[in-house]
Each structure stands twice: as structure tokens, then as C-alpha cells.
Amino acid sequence: MSTADILEHYPQSWYAATANGLTEPVRLEGAERADVCVIGAGFTGLSAALNLAERGMSVVVLEAERVGFGASGRNGGMIGSGQRKDVLELEAMFGLERSQQLWQLAELGKLEIRARVAQHGIPCDLQKGQLVGVHSKRYLGWANKLADALAERYNYPECHALDAEATRGMVATEDFVEGFYDAGAMTLHPLNYTLGLAAAARDAGVRIYEETRVSRYSRTDPVTVSTESGSVSASFVVLACNGYLGGLESRVAGTIMPINNFMIATEPLGEERAASLMGGRFGVHDTRFVVNYFRLTDDDRLLFGGGENYRRGFPKDIAAFVRPYMLKFFPQLHDVAIDYSWGGTLGITLKRLPHLGRLEPNLYFAQGYSGHGIPIANLAGKLLAEAIGGQAERFDMMASLPVTRFPGGTLLRYPGMVLGMLYYSLKDRL
């Protein structure tokens, strides 16, 4: 099978065009036995599989499409510190002690990624640094308050607030009134990281079957996981499908809403023009409800993410959909061609807190990272392996976060949520 044939199964993203280590798919045929069957080969599933195999368990991963086909191979590559909600919000929700525990767990997610890249030599362009650009005067002072809180109460001195001028010194946009720089946050090439995790998992003995969609599983012990052409009998099952879960498990489908988010990659800008936009390879995102995010690539393109929709299906012309968001930040790029455009689906929860748990003593799940899945899905994989291995304390800490089902469950969650999302995204624009 040629590389072009393999690539046909991925969206036509810049990530797919620069992917390392693509392999031919192996499909599940017949019956297999494993200690753990993981459904879904994104960050959650692969991180769980690799950590489980390192604990001496036999693991099968079943992936409906290809490794990294889901959000893990399509995202902005921004590895933010902490949880999706910042520590000021978490302190208000849960108090200082629990907020500190959640911070430490999120740091473990970042550490897991750094350690995997180093241990397995994953070529995924891991870079340090992230700037949050404050888009509205309403939020003035937030950056200072957050940096102080992190230094004083979380022993994390890596952040500092920037005034408007200093922020503009880092990014040539008029959009930001203030900035928050986190030297300990990171960026990476998400598809290459995912492919690297899969390679490491295979080396550790994990059997990964692609183009193998799970249609159902039994509520028995052991569990029988069924696909069109085979089955796996497993002592434990890990559900790691997030925004791509569909109707596979109605008991958790109603706590997440799948939303689509979109990205573009410009043509190579040349070293000088790229450097005129940003003073480095750090990642940037803003404080809008529908977040805009961008960064430079090693071949001097601007990768830009912006715009969402809340229905099944992507806009016909994604480049035309995202381009105006980019031009709002960088009108100076009006003459630049867009070489790649793509979208992906992620799972958000009502409270923007992840949803981890057990549906049966032998059926685990993790989902709903709400746009913060690079650190937290990788953390979830590690904690899933700990819990299945008998050390559930840290998993249970994440699993105890409150989740609310979307009003109307899986069938009716859309109309109300869509209205809500449209309302807030309109507020962004006003």
C-alpha cells in the first residue's frame, strides 16, 4: 500500500501531509483474547494502552478508522497548563486544596507527554511556551491575578502577565489588550505524537487493529467486544471515543456534546515574514468563548484555528470559513494562500470539566476534555491504566468531578445547546 493510499483515510491536513511513521492498517479478523480491550486510537486510548502494557497486561486496541483519525490527529497542538478551567475558577468551585490537586494532576499530563517524547524519541516538534491574548478590556487584570495565584499557591513561577505593548511585541496583532505568557506550556505536531504513541504501544506488545469499528459489547465478565469481522474477549474495556462516540454507549453520550472546530495552514511565508508575525514558535490563543489559536510551523506557515459549528457535517469550504478569523488577527496576510484546511470533532461537557468513570466494574471511559485534551487525555490514559492495575486513587479524583447531562440527553441536546453556543459566540463578536 502506498503512502498516498494510507493518507486517503486521513483529512487533508498539514499534519497528514507531514506525518511520520504511517503504517498499513491491520484489521481484526476472528476472535482474540486480552486483559484489556481499548476502543479508540487517539491520545486517550493509546496512552491507556501503552501504560497498561507497561504494567504487564495484554492489550488490544480497536480503531474504527486509523490511528489519530479523530481529534488527536487534527488539533491545534496546544498543551496548556492546568485544567480547561483556570485555577481561579476551580478555587471558586472546589476550594484551594482540590484545585491544587487538579493542578498537580494536569502537570502530570504535561510530564507524561514530555517523558513519552523523550523515552520513545517521538519526532513531534515539541516546543515550549504559550501566550494567552486577552481580547477584551472586561478581562483586564485577569492575567496578573492568575500569574500571582500560580506562583503563590501552586509553586508554578513560569507565568507572567504582559501589558498591551509587550503582548504586541510578541505577536503582531492589534487584537490583544493584555497577555499571559506561560513558559511551561507547550505545542506539538499532534498527529506525529499520536503515531509515535502507537509505535511505542506496538513495541510494548499492544495489538492495534485499524479500520475495525466496534458495533457493541456485552455486559458480562469477561466482556465480548464485537466488530463486523471479529471479536475480543477481555477482562476490562476502555471506552476512548470522545467526540466520535456516536451511539455506541448511550449511558455517557448525553454528558458530552460533539462540536466541530476548524483549522487552516497558510502557504510557507518565508522566514522573514513569519518572524514579522510572531517572535518565536510558541502557541497563542485568545480568551474568546469560541477560541482562536495559532502558531508557526517549522516550515514557516501559520497554523490557525478558528470557528466552530454545532451540527453534523463541516462547511463545504473550510478555508473560506476560517480565513476571516485569521485576517481579523493578521490583516497583513490578505494576499497569502491557504494550502490546507480541515476540521475535527471534540467532546465538550456542560461545565467544561472532563468526564472519567466506570460504567461497570470492568468498563471504564474517559471523555469530554472540552478543547483541553492534549494534556488531559494523555493524563486520563495514564490514570485509566493505574485504576485498572488496582491503584484508583488518582483516577477517582478526576472521576469525582461533577458532570451534568445535557438537557434533552442525546436526542434533544442539540437545539438548546446550539442556541446557547451561538449566543456566546455572538457575544464574542460584539
Ligand X SMILES: Cc1cc2nc3c(=O)[nH]c(=O)nc-3n(C[C@H](O)[C@H](O)[C@H](O)COP(=O)(O)OP(=O)(O)OC[C@H]3O[C@@H](n4cnc5c(N)ncnc54)[C@H](O)[C@@H]3O)c2cc1C
Task: List residues binding ligand X (CB under 6 A).
Answer: 39-45, 62-65, 69-72, 74-78, 213-214, 240-246, 248, 261, 263, 293, 305, 344-346, 369, 371-374, 377
Per DSSP (E only), the strands in 158-229 are 159-162, 178-187, 207-209, 214-217, 223-227
d(CA 86, CA 111): 18
Residue closer to ligand X, measured from CB, 76 or 129? 76
Amino acid identity of residue 160, one-letter, is: H
Residue closer to ligand X, measured from CB, 38 or 148? 38
Least spacing, CB of residue 62 vs ligand X, in Å: 5
Least spacing, CB of residue 239 vs ligand X, in Å: 9
Amino acid identity of residue 66, one-letter, is: R
Q: Which three cell numbers stand for residue 44?
A: 486517550
Least spacing, CB of residue 227 vs ligand X, in Å: 8
Least spacing, CB of residue 104 vs ligand X, in Å: 18
Least spacing, CB of residue 97 vs ligand X, in Å: 25
d(CA 314, CA 263): 12
State yes or no: cis peptide before 324, omega within 30 of 0. Answer: no
Residue closer to ligand X, measured from CB, 344 or 357? 344
Residue nearest to ligand X (CB): 373
Residue closer to ligand X, measured from CB, 40 or 179? 40
Partners of 360 in the β-ladder? 363
Residue with cell 486544596: 97
Partners of 225 in the β-ladder? 217, 232
Least spacing, CB of residue 165 vs ligand X, in Å: 27
Least spacing, CB of residue 135 vs ligand X, in Å: 17
Distances (CA, A) of 301 to 35, 297, 418: 44, 5, 33
Assess contact for 234 and 225: CB atoms under 8 A: yes
How many CB atoms lie under 10 A from the CB of residue 216? 10
Assess contact for 386 and 394: CB atoms under 8 A: yes
Partners of 240 in the β-ladder? none
